[in-house]
Amino acid sequence: MRFDYSPWLFWSEADEDEQKRQLDLQDGLAYDFGERCFVSALASVQNDQLTLGPGSYIAAGAYLTGELRAGRDCTMNPYTVIRGSIVLGDAVRIGAHTSLLGFNHTMTDPDVEVHRQPLTSRGIRIGDDVWIGSHVVILDGVTVGDRAVVAAGAVVTRDVPAGAVVGGNPARILKWRVPPAGGLSGDAASTTQPKSDLSGKAAEGESWDRRGDVAGAVAGFATRAREQAEAILDRCFVDGLFVDRPGEAPTVRAQCDAVEIADLLLGEAPRHLPAEAQVRRLREWQDPDTGMVGALRSGGGQERPEPGLFDEAAGYHVLCVGYALDLLGSRFPEPVRVVAAAGAEEIVAGLERQPWRTSAWSAGHWVDILGTAVHWNRAMGERGRPGATEALFGWLLAHADPATGMWGSGRPVDGLLQPVNGFYRAARGTFAQFGLPVPYPERVVDTVLTHAADVRVIRPERQNACNILDIAHPLWLARQQTAHRADEVAGLARGLLRDALGHWTDGQGFGFRAPHPTTTGDPATVPGLQGTEMWLAVLWYLADLAGVAEGLGYRPRGVHRPEPAG
């Protein structure tokens, strides 16, 4: 009984027989438990799915239903109620008598008793290192950011920013445990309650610091970025070649990113070399036998691409070199021969080999290369073997999941990240590039919005260019076919847009990963050409979803172009 109410003592004080009984209890529950977990026999554990990371415990009187995924060292103290779709990060400590309610009743029909009307569930997502006090209520749809604190007795109806301390009913920011990057102005940075709610929305008339004059901020950013574009390119130009970041070796992609950035911000080729010299070099890098572009060696020279579909080190170059040449008014001198020679059976076999269930991004990457190679070949009059392109699109149409609109499956370790990111890559290279409608666009919107509620991806300190682009582009692409959940899409875009504008470093551009005090020292946060090129595209898609893209004064024309490439 003592351990049921003080489970943190169990693995240090329980005897061997008690430990064996606990492990037998966990085996009988048939859920996924990490090492040194504890589940009280006095708890009511009725989950459809349950994962507890190492060192997590469920105390006496707790009531759990639905789907719960908890990281390491999470605590569900006595009489907690956790129901619906819930994700807890690492080291989430939940006080006694607290309720996390990841579902809700509907009441749309006044002639039907509430208990007979359908339930809805958006789920609750809690970040890492979060302390939730006793007698707290957190309602469906809420995301609580990393390192936040929820004071005892709070009723949380809106998202809690990372590092915030919130309390009250409804909960409001009281102070900051970890101040946000760049700080906040006004009372949001003080220890008093701010006027805005936890989602960042505020009353009419407040400034950009609080709710955001989005259009004005976008236009101001674009002016600053254009003024600094030359300096950003200069810092990455070394000995006649571009590097992604100072101190790194030249890469094929860096040359192409420089072309894209110059086109976006300056409307011309980089001024560091004559445009014809840049065209000549990119064309000379294509291997005439395979049609691929091999990687550059660190000491000079170039790797020879491997035959077949596709050399991993050379794959993305089909996209970036092809589009850089297109922006410079040229094209590959040769078709991508490994694709031109592939028949329908080889295409289908390649699609079937891809790790759709475990790594849908990798599978989508493969499809993106294939679709883009088909595009360049057709532009040159090389239509490939009969039925090959039809096999590609036919396979994708036949295998799209009607429930998600995507290919591949989610995973406990990262939720819907893989299928969403894989959808972006696969759809970009095929349906978007060829101007064809995607299957199940409404389900795509639903899936991306569900994914965007995952605290492991969407929090500002967790964002990177790939993951946010892979949210923005599918929503934009689906919007060309449907207005499904349009207000939610626009609201998400505005929030992500505010975050993205804050990731810029003057004179250097964007790092691939967003800067934050908790990520200091991560090389991915250092500004470079890849991060700058990708975030500039992300900004356009988000701004267009938010209805303010005109203020940017640019529209992607390369790898991330919104229009069909034909």
Confidence at 194, pLDDT banded by 50, 70, 90? very low
Whether residue 393 is predicted with pLDDT greater than 90 in this model: the reply is: yes
β 237-238/241-242 pair status: antiparallel
d(CA 346, CA 355): 16
Whether residue 33 is predicted with pLDDT greater than 50 in this model: the reply is: yes
pLDDT in tens, 115-139: 888 888 889 999 999 999 999 999 9
Confidence at 108, pLDDT banded by 50, 70, 90? confident
Residue 180: per-residue pLDDT: 63
What's the pTM? Answer: 0.68
262 versus 300: which is more confidently predicted?
Answer: 262
Residues annotated as catalytic (active site), given as ranges: 105
* Superfamily grouping for domain 2-189: Hexapeptide repeat proteins (2.160.10.10)
Beta strands in 40-130 (DSSP E): 44-52, 57-58, 63-70, 75-76, 81-88, 93-94, 99-102, 104-105, 119-120, 124-126
Decide: 319 and 371 in contact? Cβ < 8 Å. no
Whether residue 197 is predicted with pLDDT greater than 50 in this model: the reply is: no
| Mean pLDDT on 389-393 | 97
Whether residue 201 is predicted with pLDDT greater than 50 in this model: the reply is: no
Q: What percent of the chain has pLDDT over 70?
A: 94
Residue ranges, comma separated, of all CATH 2.160.10.10 domains in the chain are 2-189
Whether residue 483 is predicted with pLDDT greater than 90 in this model: the reply is: yes
Whether residue 189 is predicted with pLDDT greater than 50 in this model: the reply is: no
Residue 64 is given by DSSP the state E
User: Positive or negative, the Cα torsion across 516, 453, 361, 548?
Assistant: negative
